[in-house]
A and B are shown apart, each in its own frame.
Chain A
Amino acid sequence: MCLGVPGKIIEIDGVIATVDFWGVRKQVRLEVVDEPVQPGDYILNHVGYAIRRIPPGEIQATLALYEELLAHAEREDDLMAADVRGEIQGAGNDGR
């Protein structure tokens, strides 16, 4: 449970933002984040300071990255599969 938890900015007063985390609102300070932020932005919070603005498109991009990772591994797997199966049978175990 790392405290780098993302939340959504509701309002800003100077260097203090009111941020919503799943229905709980908390004040987070903005002296450290390196981009201008506004209400509606998602930020990453660590011990009461916003350390990063999370661009909205990044969630989908990361999920796509994981899909690609799986697909790539499967392709590799197909190529290696025959070799691996051969090795495993040679070694006489069930492969796990």
Chain B
Amino acid sequence: MAPSVLDERITLKYGAGGQAMRTLIQQVFVDGMAAGPPHVGIGLAAMDDGAALRIGNRWLVMTTDSHVIHPVFFPGGDIGRLAVSGTVNDLAMMGATDVLGLTCAVIIEEGFPRADLVRIQRSIRETCEEAGAFVVTGDTKVMGKGELDGIVLNTTGIAMTDRVIPDSGLRPGDRLVVTGTIGDHGMAVMARRHGLALEGDLRSDVAPLNRLVRQVLDSAPDAIVAMKDPTRGGLASALHEMAEKSRVGIVLEEMALPVTSPVRAAGELLGIDPVHVANEGKAVLGVRPDAVDVVLAALREHHLGRDAACVGTCTDERIGSIILDTGFGRRLVTEVEGEPLPRIC
């Protein structure tokens, strides 16, 4: 289970979204911080997508994200779109789809092209429009050449909601629904980053999901019991967290997983399983079994949910484990520590 020993130096795996990162957060930050005042309903210890603070009989949901992606511009998006979508989606995953405001802090490396900065700002604005959100305050810093890599963005978002949906509400028998194809963002970025010279339709799926989530929550108000967006670590990581927190096991059907052909091909070529690769415009929902059809119909009406599919079910066996039914047999889906690297035989 969770390792109790941390390395003396922070290596890259601690930022990768998997077990190592959760351990770091738990042992260094959560255990180290004070518990928080009484109105904090969901706080640091829950390690959910955001925090929920009680205001009267409603909840104020708050989340923050830093974005360090490189390359800054990639097929399908850029760091600006990613920053807004990431924060809007974290709020949406807790059920808070009406964004009150966003902050945007930038730290820029000396020498960064002004034209690129403007391009990023335009992207932020467009994405905000899609989400019905606004950047209301920010901060700007410049660091010397070589002191940081290009640009870093941090966004914080707040929204109100009547009901907070945790990522831990799954029960045996509940179904798992993904809102669309998996592995798109990570595969597109990885192909670029490793100079893999793969041409094809590999595009990031980065997009704000709050309107899609609102639509599906309205269609089946009590049927969605858990939500998470699979980012770093992919669907595997997201499901592991949900399964552990909910104390259930999960069985996934490989044949039901929606994957585009280019992502599948890139995965085969690189020896990387799409289930471990990040999305930035998809969510996985825990759904009561009798509401799956309604939920799928509501998702598929929206352009961001057109490839939605039911991909698995929760069980009361092998708590915390994810079993993949491959069609030929069964195996466990594990979490990959660190970024998946291209393999050879």
- Asked if A and B form a direct contact in the complex, defined as CB atoms under 8 angstroms apart, the reply is yes
- Complex interface: chain A residues within 8 A of B196 (CB): 26
0/1 string, A1-32, CB within 8 A of B gives 1: 11111000000000000000111111100000
Q: Kindly state the interface size class of chain B when it binds its partner.
A: 20 to 34
- Interface residue A47 (Cβ < 8 Å from any Cβ of B): yes
0/1 string, B191-229, CB within 8 A of A gives 1: 000001111111000000000000000000000000000
- Complex interface: chain B residues within 8 A of A4 (CB): 345
The smallest C-beta distance from B336 to any residue of chain A, in angstroms, reads: 13
**Per a CB cutoff under 8 Å, which of B199, B264, B271, B344 touches A22?**
B264
The smallest C-beta distance from B231 to any residue of chain A, in angstroms, reads: 23
Shortest Cβ distance from A21 into B: residue: B265
- Interface residue A46 (Cβ < 8 Å from any Cβ of B): yes
A23–B268 contact, CB under 8 A? no
- Complex interface: chain B residues within 8 A of A23 (CB): 200-201, 260-262, 265
- Interface residue B33 (Cβ < 8 Å from any Cβ of A): no
- Complex interface: chain B residues within 8 A of A22 (CB): 261-262, 264-265, 268
- Complex interface: chain A residues within 8 A of B197 (CB): 26-27
- Interface residue B303 (Cβ < 8 Å from any Cβ of A): no
0/1 string, A45-89, CB within 8 A of B gives 1: 111000000000000000000000000000000000000000000
The smallest C-beta distance from A15 to any residue of chain B, in angstroms, reads: 15
- Complex interface: chain A residues within 8 A of B55 (CB): none
The smallest C-beta distance from A2 to any residue of chain B, in angstroms, reads: 5
- Interface residue B266 (Cβ < 8 Å from any Cβ of A): yes
B345–A24 contact, CB under 8 A? no
A2–B200 contact, CB under 8 A? no
Contacts A1-B268, A3-B269 known; A25 to B344 CB distance under 8 Å?
no
Q: Which residues B19-43 have CB closer than 8 A to chain A?
A: none
Contacts A2-B345, A3-B343, A46-B345 known; A24 to B265 CB distance under 8 Å?
yes
The CA-CA distance from A67 to B270 in the complex, in Å, is 32
**Taking beta carbons and an 8 Å cutoff, which residues of B are in contact with A?**
196-202, 260-262, 264-273, 343-345
Q: Using A1-B271, A24-B201, A26-B197 as known contacts, list a sample of 5 further A-B pairs with CB atoms less than 8 Å apart, ordered by residue number in A.
A: A3-B270, A24-B198, A25-B200, A27-B197, A46-B345
**Taking beta carbons and an 8 Å cutoff, which residues of A are in contact with B?**
1-5, 21-27, 45-47
CB pairs A–B below 8 angstroms (30 shown): A1-B271, A1-B272, A1-B343, A2-B345, A3-B271, A3-B343, A4-B345, A5-B268, A5-B269, A21-B268, A22-B264, A22-B265, A23-B201, A23-B260, A23-B261, A23-B265, A24-B198, A24-B200, A24-B201, A24-B202, A24-B262, A24-B266, A25-B200, A26-B197, A26-B198, A26-B199, A26-B269, A27-B197, A45-B269, A47-B344
